[in-house]
Chains A and B, each alone.
Chain A
Amino acid sequence: MYLKDLLRKNIREYGMFIALFVIIVIFTIMTKGIFISSRNISNLLNQTGYIAVLAVGMTLVIVIRHIDLSVGFLAGFLGAVAAIALEFWHLPVYVVIPMIMGFGILAGLLTAYPVAKLGIPAFVASLAGWLIYRGALLLVTAGTGTIIIQDKTFNAIGNGYIPDIFPNSNFLPKVHKLTLLIGLVGIILYIISAINSRKKKQAYHFEVLPTNIFILQLVFVSVLIGLITWVLSGYNGLSWTVVIVLIVVAVYHFITTQTVLGRHIYAIGGNPEAAELSGISVKNLTFVVFGSMGMLSALSGILFASRLQSATTTAGQLFEMDAIAAAYIGGVSAAGGVGKVTGSLIGALVYMSLTSGMNLMNVDIAYQYVVRGAVLALAVIFDVATRRSAK
């Protein structure tokens, strides 16, 4: 297998990386380097957080050929509930967060019920949820308007950074050393796990990448991780938001690629009837997927409320559309059965980079929507075209 064949075979996967790279280069040039500055990148990642979390959940929903429109206002509503619980009920943050996540799961199961049990299209069922949660958000904030959150721990989730080791040592001053260390550990873990899984595949005579391309891939990803952590360590280091997003992506990546559950989810997306006849319970997995979506909505709501340090009446507006767009840009197929969690993360980054870059350039908001729409359309057209040529 040659590099060219490999590229053509995986063009859909590499396409987003190329898109992200191009966008970063363009904005870096147009903003004379401000875009790539540590401060802006750190900000960008924190902004991406709540959309990325939603996009991860949305990936699974779209993979099983459904859609969930309710997640935006669900996130806003649950964020408001969190604010109320903290400010009015005076519950400790360690109780509030699991509780809100639990509410999220419940809400997701509620959306899944008409879809799985009654066969109602997810679009309709979640549109109902969209209206209901919007109303609910207005209802709970009706008396108070915007609720300011005072809790420092809660607000740190969206605004804080991980502490540094030896903050006052002379070794590498002004650089966040724990971030660098984590990046280094990440690179080492990545290399070890990649080599292990390759060895395992070879032992079972699966097809693997040729050695030189495998090494190229290792080097590329290692350099990428190294660069990102280096840039981040130049500002305040890793934010808690980024840590949470990374954990969510890692867990979901593991579930979708390594476990039977993930494989069944993709099988349902590929051919629901065949999956059903082979003994996979499509209903149960629909509940699982929507439940996880609800839980991630709750997490997204927490991240957003924490970032604004308040719950507003319009929180969560259009989040669902951003998440869906991020998933599609990230290579999730509208036809179901295809799409990666990591892809959606990249999709969210692409989407938020566009917003951030255009904001830096003072582009009019009207044009921003047009550009974002065009990128989404291009991504879907690219997906359909490469999919057709792959068959």
Chain B
Amino acid sequence: MELLSVHNLAYCFGAVPALLDVNFAIEPGEVIGVVGQRGAGKSTLFHLLSGALSPSEGEIKVDGRRVTPKTVAHAQHLGIVAVHQQFQLVDDLDVLHNVFLGRELCGPDWFPILPREGHMMQAARAMLTTFDLPLDLIEQRAAVLSTEQRQIVALARAFSHPCRLLLLDDALAVLSFARQQILLDQIKDLAARNVAIIMSSDDLKQIFAVTDRVLVLYQGRQVALRRTSESTPREIVELIVGSNRQERITPVIWAFENYYAAQQQAEELRQAQLELQQNLEEQDSLNRQLIERLHNQVEALDQLNLALQQASRRLITEREAERKALARELHDQIIQDLLSYNYQLEEAEGETADESLRQKLAEIREGIRQVVGSLRLVCSDLRPPTIDHHGLSAAIRSLVSQWSEQTGIAVELQIDPALGRLPETIELSVFRIIQEGLSNVRKHANATRVNLGLRRTSTASLIVDLIDNGQGMGRPLNLADLTEQKHFGLVGISERVSLLGGTLQVTSPPGGGLTLQIEIPSPYPSISDS
């Protein structure tokens, strides 16, 4: 016994026919697919069957009786329920009330005008669970839903009541691949429970997966009604396109096949993307941990460095103090002792008459004088005597003239008259730096002239320039290499400079010569030097 039959159904928009001469019948539990190009009249057919439109001609029979549905409510009363493509939801109502819109579950039984919210809530929850939607959507307004969620709410409305004929107008298109499979399973399930289904889809794979027969519309006319099992996608495509010319069919078939493949790929891609995102997140947190650890280590290193600098500053200060003590010891004790021995020897020399003994004593005294002379040199090397009493500039003048005498290298000295006195550590360090620099010149430069300049800058820093005209450096400077080769001169200078917080600049122009420029920041930055 057929559930619904359609005879010569036609519908015209004004004078324009949208659908002509449609004839078919459907039995309970049967699934019919409706296919056709855009504008072929699929949606019009669904509107006619669901009662949203009244046919211009022809008739619809339900259970063999002529009952062309005049309104949607009438069709629903006959057991015909539709999911349309457009105008599905009322935006101001929440999901729950959209699901049951038009067919609320009502009570009490004797006068059903009051909605039974609790019953509807439970049913809606079950429905959303089936389609794998979050349950808290139930109280959301329909306006905030995504296209896919809206489609699911529209489907839920159709599934909310038992029906005899379900009309699905392209209901699968906006669903994700996984939910399409759920819906196809639901369709099979309903068909097994004797519900007739008419569905349209642009996806022939879906049509061939669930339908028993296929109705093909072409420009508003029914061109074929085939058993799905006796047909092929190629034949259906030929009918949809309305031609069997190879060059028109092939792209469409190609498109259909690729559509399915593309959808599957899109789903896989989505999964992969999800996984990638998770991986990225993990990676990100790992990176952050690493960065944190690195940061900690750098901080620790910084502290160690600081401690090291302090230690070496202390070391230098102590060394200087020791040198000072040693020099004082030598000067005040040993040299004085030696001199007093010298006097004693002189006395002994005056008392004796032995000429040869006097000769010998005179030689010894000459020796002692020489020892005293070299001890004095050692002393002044250990601790420049002038620096404590007369300041840096005097000490440097004396150092330079001494050095010039010893080496025979001319030194042009330019000392800023406004140099003034500086803290002891700085003065000593600068003195040592110049000492070391000059000794470098003597050892390595093979120079004939040296320029030495000390001046204060406007920011009260001290600048030392040491320029020679020697052979310069063959290759770029590398302190680490120098250390390995046990050339501690420049290394020592740079260490002292860095302990004072200053900068060292070494330039060696290609024409020969070497320039050291050392800048030491002012120890009294807030006081202007005028």
Interface contacts (Cβ under 8 Å), in number, total 88
A277 & B82 in contact (Cβ 8 Å cutoff): yes
Q: Is A267 an interface residue (CB 8 A)?
A: yes
Q: Is A337 an interface residue (CB 8 A)?
A: yes
B52 & A277 in contact (Cβ 8 Å cutoff): yes
- How far apart are B412's CB and chain A's nearest CB, in angstroms? 81
A275 & B90 in contact (Cβ 8 Å cutoff): yes
Q: Give the chain B neighbours of A275 by CB distance below 8 A.
A: 90, 101-102
**Contact check: which of A200, A203, A205, A338 meets B92 at CB < 8 Å?**
A338
Q: Is A372 an interface residue (CB 8 A)?
A: no
B91 & A278 in contact (Cβ 8 Å cutoff): no
Q: Is B76 an interface residue (CB 8 A)?
A: yes
Bound complex: CA of A200 vs CA of B117, how far in Å? 9
Bound complex: CA of A278 vs CA of B84, how far in Å? 9
Q: Is A211 an interface residue (CB 8 A)?
A: no
A277 & B89 in contact (Cβ 8 Å cutoff): no
- How far apart are A339's CB and chain B's nearest CB, in angstroms? 11
Bound complex: CA of A85 vs CA of B330, how far in Å? 144
Q: Is B115 an interface residue (CB 8 A)?
A: yes
- How far apart are B251's CB and chain A's nearest CB, in angstroms? 35
- How far apart are B97's CB and chain A's nearest CB, in angstroms? 6
**Contact check: which of B88, B89, B102, B143 meets A279 at CB < 8 Å?**
B102
A259 & B90 in contact (Cβ 8 Å cutoff): no
Q: Give the chain A neighbours of B92 by CB distance below 8 A.
A: 266, 269-271, 337-338
- How far apart are B160's CB and chain A's nearest CB, in angstroms? 11
Bound complex: CA of A259 vs CA of B112, how far in Å? 9
Bound complex: CA of A260 vs CA of B76, how far in Å? 17
Size of the B side of the interface (Cβ < 8 Å), in residues, is 33
Q: Give the chain A neighbours of B104 by CB distance below 8 A.
A: 260, 263
B113 & A259 in contact (Cβ 8 Å cutoff): yes
B143 & A263 in contact (Cβ 8 Å cutoff): no
B114 & A278 in contact (Cβ 8 Å cutoff): no
Residue of B nearest to A205 (CB): B121
Majority secondary structure of chain A interface residues (helix, strand, loop or mixed): helix
B72 & A258 in contact (Cβ 8 Å cutoff): no
Q: Give the chain B neighbours of A259 by CB distance below 8 A.
A: 113-115
Q: Is A204 an interface residue (CB 8 A)?
A: yes
**Contact check: which of B101, B106, B113 meets A280 at CB < 8 Å?**
B101
**Contact check: which of A263, A276, A277, A391 meets B97 at CB < 8 Å?**
A263
Interface string of B113-126 (1 = CB under 8 A from A): 11101100100000
A258 & B87 in contact (Cβ 8 Å cutoff): no
Q: Is B157 an interface residue (CB 8 A)?
A: yes
**Contact check: which of A270, A273, A391 meets B93 at CB < 8 Å?**
A270
A278 & B139 in contact (Cβ 8 Å cutoff): no
Q: Is B397 an interface residue (CB 8 A)?
A: no
Residue of B nearest to A260 (CB): B104
**Contact check: which of A263, A269, A270, A277 meets B72 at CB < 8 Å?**
A277
A: interface residue count bin? 20 to 34
Q: Of residues A264, A266, A271, A277, which shows the largest number of chain B Cβ atoms within 10 Å of its Cβ?
A: A277
Q: Give the chain B neighbours of A171 by CB distance below 8 A.
A: none
- How far apart are B410's CB and chain A's nearest CB, in angstroms? 87
A266 & B93 in contact (Cβ 8 Å cutoff): yes
Q: Is A206 an interface residue (CB 8 A)?
A: yes
B86 & A279 in contact (Cβ 8 Å cutoff): no
- How far apart are B150's CB and chain A's nearest CB, in angstroms? 10
Q: Is B103 an interface residue (CB 8 A)?
A: yes
Interface residues of B in 69-94 (CB under 8 A from A): 71-73, 75-76, 82, 84, 86-93
Q: Give the chain A neighbours of B90 by CB distance below 8 A.
A: 266-267, 270-271, 274-275, 337
**Contact check: which of A200, A205, A273, A279 meets B87 at CB < 8 Å?**
A273
Q: Of residues B72, B75, B76, B89, which shows the largest number of chain A Cβ atoms within 10 Å of its Cβ?
A: B72
Q: Give the chain A neighbours of B103 by CB distance below 8 A.
A: 278-279
**Contact check: which of B71, B87, B112, B113 meets A274 at CB < 8 Å?**
B87
A206 & B87 in contact (Cβ 8 Å cutoff): no
Q: Give the chain A neighbours of B52 by CB distance below 8 A.
A: 276-277
Known pairs A259-B113, A274-B89; list 17 more (Cβ under 8 Å): A200-B118, A204-B121, A206-B139, A258-B115, A260-B113, A263-B93, A267-B101, A270-B92, A271-B87, A277-B82, A277-B84, A277-B87, A278-B101, A279-B73, A279-B76, A280-B73, A337-B92
Sample (18) of A-B pairs whose CB atoms are under 8 Å apart: A200-B117, A200-B118, A204-B117, A204-B118, A204-B121, A205-B121, A206-B117, A206-B139, A260-B112, A270-B92, A273-B86, A274-B88, A277-B84, A279-B71, A279-B72, A280-B73, A337-B92, A338-B92
Can you list the 4 inter-chain pairs with the closest CB atoms, starting with the nearest? A279-B102, A273-B87, A278-B102, A270-B90
B residues near A (Cβ < 8 Å) are 50, 52, 71-73, 75-76, 82, 84, 86-93, 97, 101-104, 106, 112-115, 117-118, 121, 139, 143, 157
